[in-house]
Chain A
């Protein structure tokens, strides 16, 4: 199972774009990269998933370079409600999910 490394915390202001980078040097060929968001006392919520290049949905974008050893979650124009912990995970279908430390994003007014 690929181990992931993320910054422990990040600060931002409302309206800014936030980019959170995750390192996963040991990612396997069949591994996908998935990001989750967690608010206090709630279960993690799926944000986005990708395998290579760029993926975009209604809430975020995920950038994955060609070597796939890292990935960047991009949140456009964050608001106070985006304050949460963001987890990056890698693995293939049916792999058990091993969570790293996550990144605590604090959005200020």
Chain B
């Protein structure tokens, strides 16, 4: 089945530094990947849609200069949290679906990255 790998699973960084999170589709190609953020006891909030070879599309209220997304290949998308601050501490999750997925909606999610900014 489709597998999405997310790395790292957790990271602690100092305030003001940048952190990169990787999302890889291991056994399929994905032209589109999605990035979510989830705060404790809340639902997943879509941050942006990552498109291979083009600029990401950000949801309203998400700072594109703070959350840099790069989707350089059909199997890799990265999210970089720049100049991280404690309020950026959250659980970040990516998802993807095989290229050309039709007739359905079965996206696969990564295991998530717990970011703690101190």
Interface bits B92-113 vs A (CB < 8 Å: 1, else 0): 0101010001111111111110
Report chain A residues within 8 Å CB of B111.
Answer: 42-43
Which of B36, B44, B108, B112 lies in contact with A46, CB distance below 8 A? B108
Give the number of A-B contacts (CB < 8 Å). Answer: 63
Interface size on B, residues (CB 8 A): 27
How far is B102's CA from A89's CA once the two chains are assembled, in angstroms?
16
**Residue A7 interfacial (CB < 8 Å):** no
Q: A43-B109, A92-B105 are in contact. Are A87 and B91 (CB under 8 A)?
A: no
Q: A42-B112, A96-B34 are in contact. Are A91 and B105 (CB under 8 A)?
A: yes
Min Cβ gap B9→A in Å is 9
When the two chains form their complex, are residues A101 and B105 in contact, meaning their CB atoms are under 8 A apart? no
**Residue A66 interfacial (CB < 8 Å):** no
How far is B112's CA from A45's CA once the two chains are assembled, in angstroms?
12
Instruction: Label chain A's interface by main secondary structure.
Output: loop
Interface size on A, residues (CB 8 A): 24
How far is B102's CA from A93's CA once the two chains are assembled, in angstroms?
6
When the two chains form their complex, are residues B109 and A102 in contact, meaning their CB atoms are under 8 A apart? no
**Residue B77 interfacial (CB < 8 Å):** no
How far is B101's CA from A32's CA once the two chains are assembled, in angstroms?
13
**Residue A97 interfacial (CB < 8 Å):** yes
Interface residues of A (CB under 8 A from B): 32, 34, 36, 41-46, 49, 87, 89, 91-102
Q: List 19 A-B contacts (CB under 8 A).
A: A34-B105, A34-B106, A43-B4, A43-B93, A43-B95, A44-B93, A46-B107, A87-B43, A91-B105, A92-B105, A93-B101, A93-B102, A94-B101, A96-B34, A97-B105, A98-B46, A99-B43, A99-B46, A101-B43
